[in-house]
Amino acid sequence: MTNEDIAKKLIENLGGAENILTAGNCMTRLRVQLADKNKIATDAIKKIEGVSGIYDAGAEFQIILGPGKATNVTNAVNEILSKRPKIGDGKALREEIKAKNTTPAKLFLRKIAGIFTPLIPGFIACGLITGVIGVALKISPELADSQMIKLLSIFGNAVFWGMNLFVGYNAAKVFGGTPILGGVLAAIMTHPALSDIGLLPGRGGIISVVLVAALGAWLESKLHKIIPEMFDLFLTPLITVLISGAAAIFILQPVGGTISETIGNLATGAIASGGAAVGFILAGMWLPLVMFGVHQALTPIHVDLISQYGVTILLPILAMAGAGQVGASIAVYFKTKNKFLKKTVASALPVGIMGIGEPLIYGVTFPLGKPFIGACIGGAFGGAVQASFMVGAATLGISGLPLAATTNNIPVYLIGVVVSYAAGFAATWILGFEDPAE
């Protein structure tokens, strides 16, 4: 079945083109806003070839398709939707649905995601380069003096040198300000010349940057309203930078520094003192938290830990939840007699092993119930391994086997992955599940 065929089937079972207000996608899901959710034919959608599962996220209805597939099918859906008759633009209805399904917590998480999600490809690229260099140096330490290794090290560190600028730019944009002013304020806070006047460059890291970007955006919006138009182009950015920059140096940097240090101390302290028990709890709870979207709130914490320590010790622990999912799904594959379910597991397992777990969550373990619990148990055991050895990762945005190359203890990380596979498999096999009819 082609992507266009899948798109046509999806539109038909989502209530027709006139029922779809918007269609977008993330890495693995087609996300649609609908005028009337009662028109969704959920059972028919689940049976469409290429669909791994569905999820009702309140404001959106999501169809899990997997990486690459989600983008291609979404493009095909929007191509079809662009040809429908235009009777009004549906803006009022879209806004009504959006308001109905919007909460302060969801808005906050969306803003956080809007700041940090665009940075993830940079972290992935630089983290993997750093990881490969680390592996190469362990095999051949003499390569440390190689010009190529030194050049690649610059590539691997690039995202960290520019991180505050990127965060400032994105944060100002998300908070409604001029992006470049957010970048300028971040540059002021991290300028090395601050040390010449007795100040500490970069104190507070990304926490301080987000705070000053939010302040700058708020101040800029107020100035636009009170400064005459003929002076707005000159005075608004000038006053924004002067006032926000001063507040950043003398107020927000110390505040952000305290928050950042507290987060770092709590995270590392809890894992160092609690060890396996803390890792067990964190990894065991992670899959339900991901389903509720809470995982977005941890992205800035990962970034802050990496900026402070060079690695985040939370990510390897939480990544074990996906490994537990793989083990649970393998148990389902061998235990089920349902051919369609076997096919679903087989198609979703490769991306699950590579760290993209949504197809397995929504297409296999969560709909079956008990295997989802088995996956959580599997992740918990793997998380205990990672926490016991304080394994850290120098990137974010990836999980599964690819994350191994970026960790500071590759053998232990891989042992944890295998433990999660085995525990998830065993727990699911013991718990069992009701095998669905063909």
Residue (of 69, 4, 112) closest to 351 by Cα position: 69
Q: Do 391 and 313 form a contact (C-beta atoms < 8 A)?
A: yes
Tally of CB atoms within 10 A around 430: 11
Q: Do 299 and 118 form a contact (C-beta atoms < 8 A)?
A: no
Burial (CB < 10 A; 0-12, 13-18, 19+), residue 91, is exposed
Alpha-helix runs per DSSP H in 248-368: 253-274, 276-291, 299-309, 314-335, 339-353, 358-360, 366-368
SS3 assignment, position 355:
coil
376 is known as an active-site residue: no
In three state form, how does the secondary structure of 243-277 look? HHHHHHHHHHHHHHHHHHHHHHHHHHHHHHHHCHH
Residue (of 377, 355, 363, 373) closest to 333 by Cα position: 363
- Can you tell me the distance from the alpha carbon of 319 to that of 416, in angstroms, rounded to the nearest whole number? 10
SS3 assignment, position 103:
coil
Type of residue numbered 164: N
Tally of CB atoms within 10 A around 311: 23
- Can you tell me the distance from the alpha carbon of 156 to that of 98, in angstroms, rounded to the nearest whole number? 40
- Can you tell me the distance from the alpha carbon of 8 to that of 426, in angstroms, rounded to the nearest whole number? 40
**Which one of the listed residues 17, 21, 26, 137 is annotated catalytic?**
26
- Can you tell me the distance from the alpha carbon of 181 to that of 213, in angstroms, rounded to the nearest whole number? 8
Active site residue ranges:
26
